[in-house]
Amino acid sequence: MSEPEIMSLSAPEPTAATAATSPEQSSARPLAQTSGGRVSGKTWKVHKAATVRSLLPEGLKTKKWEDRMEKTKKAQAIKKLEAELKEEKLAEAQRRKEITMERKKAAEERRRLEEDKAKMGARKAARLRRRAGRTKKINH
């Protein structure tokens, strides 16, 4: 074989399609600055920051104590207000439940009294019929 034929068999020339996939020409992603260059594949997980103030970056450490205390006081006031509103809502619901229960009890009592009154009326009528000397056969 001649020399041009050997070259054509050994390595094909890089084309536009093979150039993008070859590792020499594609730019590698830099590793993240984590322990050993490991990166979580879970994109929704946020990177944890230092909780000790001395380890925080200077940009985050610049807040003053008064500012942080004011923010804390505001948060506590909001929490207290929310608790009060929730308690008021629960108290209102409890009051409505009690009113409903009282109404149900009153209605049940009225119904029971009506039944008793009907029973007593029937008994009294039966007594009067017996006194008059009538029997069931005559009345019906």
Model confidence pLDDT, tens digit, residues 68-124: 899 999 999 999 999 999 999 999 999 999 999 999 999 999 999 899 888 888 888
> Is the pTM of the predicted complex or chain greater than 0.75?
no
Q: What is the pLDDT of residue 90?
A: 98
Q: What is the pLDDT of residue 81?
A: 98
Look-up: residue for tokens 């009326």?
121
Domain ranges of the chain: 67-140
For the ranges 10-14, 29-33, 75-79, the maximum mean pLDDT occurs at: 75-79
Burial class (CB in 10 A: 0-12, 13-18, 19+), 16: exposed
Confidence check: pLDDT of 134 > 80: no
Residue 63 main-chain phi, psi, to 5 deg? -65, 140
Q: What is the pLDDT of residue 122?
A: 83
The pair of three-digit structure tokens given for residue 94, joined into one six-digit string: 């409890």
Average pLDDT over residues 120-137: 78
Burial state string for 52-87 with b = 16 or more CB within 10 A and e = fewer than 16: eeeeeeeeeeeeeeeeeeeeeeeeeeeeeeeeeeee
